[in-house]
Homo-oligomer: A and B are copies of this chain.
Amino acid sequence: LATGDRDTARLLTEDLHEADLGAILEALEPEERTGLIQLLGTAFDFTALTELDESVRVQILEELPAAAVAEGVRELDSDDAVYILEDLDAAEQAEILAQIPSIERQALKRSLDYPEESAGRRMQTEFVAVPPFWTVGQTIDYMREEEDLPESFYEIFVVDPAFHLLGTVALSHVLRSKRPTPISELVDEAHHLVPATEDQEEVARMFERYNLVSAAVVDEDGRLVGVLTIDDIVDVIQEEADEDLKALAGVNAEEEISDTVLWTARSRFPWLFANMFTAFVSASVIGAFESAIAGMVALAVLMPIVASMGGNAGTQAMAVTVRAIATRELRGRTARRVLARELSVGFLNGAVLACFVGSLAGFWFGDPHLGVVIGIALVLNLIVAGTVGVLVPMTLDKLKVDPAVASSVFVTMTTDSVGYLAFLGLATWWFALR
């Protein structure tokens, strides 16, 4: 790269898979990335850009001349092209689109007009559609002669003259039938239609549930406009699971390890800020028992144990509930069964742990009464933890708030506050400290 030796660079990258070429781009210093791409010129496969973190991709696209990007994007399947263009701001998009011939530009624009994270954004606009009265032989001949078909595909669509979908035929069924067989005999009518405006998360759930490999995308008039294939959906599934995990930990779903310090700090701040208020709420519970603590400092030493263990039990119940909601397992009758189960689990584990914690605390401060008090407080807090662990995500889901994002704040605030309240309140009453 340093010597600008174009032939060697081309030779070295020629046989690389796009994913590996992408990895090389990410490992390079930011200044060197566009250098490599321009060195490779037309030999650079723009598909590699789809494998990059968003921040790296945007950096590269902004530095490359619009004409070069336009040419590279034209070589791609429409879904990859849209994926690359969608992160750019409107002015840059327009500049690149202006360099693309009209027909292709229209198709890209239509896809970009669909909302973010919708099926329309992810779909491929190249597909094979045939009328039902064709035979297998005609279909095979058409596919042999037609130039403008997708790189690879797994199903062909059967449509009426108005481009309404009548059904699908798996390629393997076409191959395994005799040439004179009419396509209409092979059609599988139990197809799954995806409206172009559908959220990608819903689409991914459909693919998973019905083990689909591809699905037809239709516009508001029910006309076939594209196809979604499983390889796009795999990325969506991975993204959505990632979002849930990060959301539970209070991290923005879009955070990537290549983001800048300032961006990261700012995106994590709101969560910590919310946590500050909940922490003050719990602290005010403690504040109500200042005189009890002044009379018996051991209470201050032991109280975080009750709060921390409740927090953990609540997080366990919450994680299971959030996942069950995300995978649509939790509804109606199941919900009540799950709540009952969490209450019982909280009571059981609370009772067993109370024996351990009670004994340890009793011995530590040489006061069995303290052990009894902390034990009872722990059982109470673990039952509450199980309850809020189920109820908070379920309530948020009903209120159309993403339970993964907001649950933790409420659950830990409750387990902290109830932990302090139960322990300090019980101790005040038991030892008559007031």
CB of A110 within 8 Å of the partner chain: no
Instruction: Chain B residues near A245: list those with CB within 8 A.
Output: 241, 244-245, 248, 319, 323
Instruction: Chain B residues near A307: list those with CB within 8 A.
Output: 304
CA distance A330 to B258 in the complex (A): 10
CA distance A271 to B302 in the complex (A): 20
- CB <8 Å contact, A269 and B349: yes
CA distance A318 to B212 in the complex (A): 35
CA distance A249 to B282 in the complex (A): 22
- CB <8 Å contact, A309 and B276: yes
Query: Which of the residues B190, B241, B315, B357 comes within 8 Å of A238, measured between beta carbons?
Result: B241
User: A234-B207, A261-B344, A273-B353 in contact; A301/B319 too (CB < 8 A)?
Assistant: no
User: Shortest beta-carbon distance, A298 to chain B, in Å?
Assistant: 8
Number of copies of this chain that the complex holds: 2
- CB <8 Å contact, B250 and A312: yes
Instruction: Chain B residues near A153: list those with CB within 8 A.
Output: 172
- CB <8 Å contact, A349 and B265: yes
Q: Mark A332-376, 1 if CB is under 8 A from B, else 0.
A: 011000100100110011001100110010001000000000000
* Residue among A152, A235, A360 with the highest chain B CB neighbour number at 10 A: A152
User: A279-B304, A309-B275 in contact; A257/B320 too (CB < 8 A)?
Assistant: yes
CB of A264 within 8 Å of the partner chain: yes
Instruction: Chain B residues near A251: list those with CB within 8 A.
Output: 316, 319-320
User: Shortest beta-carbon distance, A150 to chain B, in Å?
Assistant: 8
The total of chain A residues at the interface (CB under 8 A) is 107
Instruction: Chain B residues near A312: list those with CB within 8 A.
Output: 250, 271-272, 275
CB of A174 within 8 Å of the partner chain: yes
Instruction: Chain B residues near A304: list those with CB within 8 A.
Output: 279, 282-283, 286, 304, 307, 416, 420
- CB <8 Å contact, A329 and B257: yes
User: Shortest beta-carbon distance, A411 to chain B, in Å?
Assistant: 11
User: Shortest beta-carbon distance, A319 to chain B, in Å?
Assistant: 3
* Closest chain B residue to A356, Cβ basis: B276
CA distance A334 to B171 in the complex (A): 44
User: A144-B175, A279-B305, A349-B269 in contact; A242/B323 too (CB < 8 A)?
Assistant: yes
- CB <8 Å contact, B249 and A231: no
- CB <8 Å contact, A144 and B246: no
* Residue among A242, A312, A329 with the highest chain B CB neighbour number at 10 A: A312
CB of A6 within 8 Å of the partner chain: no
Q: Mark A248-271, 1 if CB is under 8 A from B, else 0.
A: 111100010100011011001101
Which stretch from A66-74, A87-95, A157-165, A289-297 is at the chain B interface? A289-297
User: Shortest beta-carbon distance, A83 to chain B, in Å?
Assistant: 12
* Closest chain B residue to A351, Cβ basis: B265
* Residue among A269, A273, A279, A353 with the highest chain B CB neighbour number at 10 A: A279
Instruction: Chain B residues near A309: list those with CB within 8 A.
Output: 272, 275-276, 279
CA distance A297 to B299 in the complex (A): 11
CA distance A423 to B6 in the complex (A): 60
Instruction: Chain B residues near A248: list those with CB within 8 A.
Output: 245, 248-249, 319
CB of A134 within 8 Å of the partner chain: no
Instruction: Chain B residues near A234: list those with CB within 8 A.
Output: 207-208, 211, 230, 233-234, 237
Q: Mark A163-178, 1 if CB is under 8 A from B, else 0.
A: 0000000111111111
Offer 12 A-B interface pairs, CB within 8 angstroms, sorted by A: A140-B175, A143-B176, A152-B170, A245-B323, A250-B319, A261-B341, A271-B316, A276-B353, A276-B357, A287-B364, A300-B300, A304-B416
Beyond the given A245-B245, A275-B312, please list 20 additional residue pairs across the A-B interface where CB-CB is below 8 A: A152-B172, A171-B171, A174-B175, A211-B231, A237-B241, A242-B323, A245-B323, A246-B319, A248-B249, A249-B315, A250-B312, A261-B344, A269-B349, A271-B312, A272-B313, A272-B349, A279-B308, A282-B304, A282-B308, A308-B412
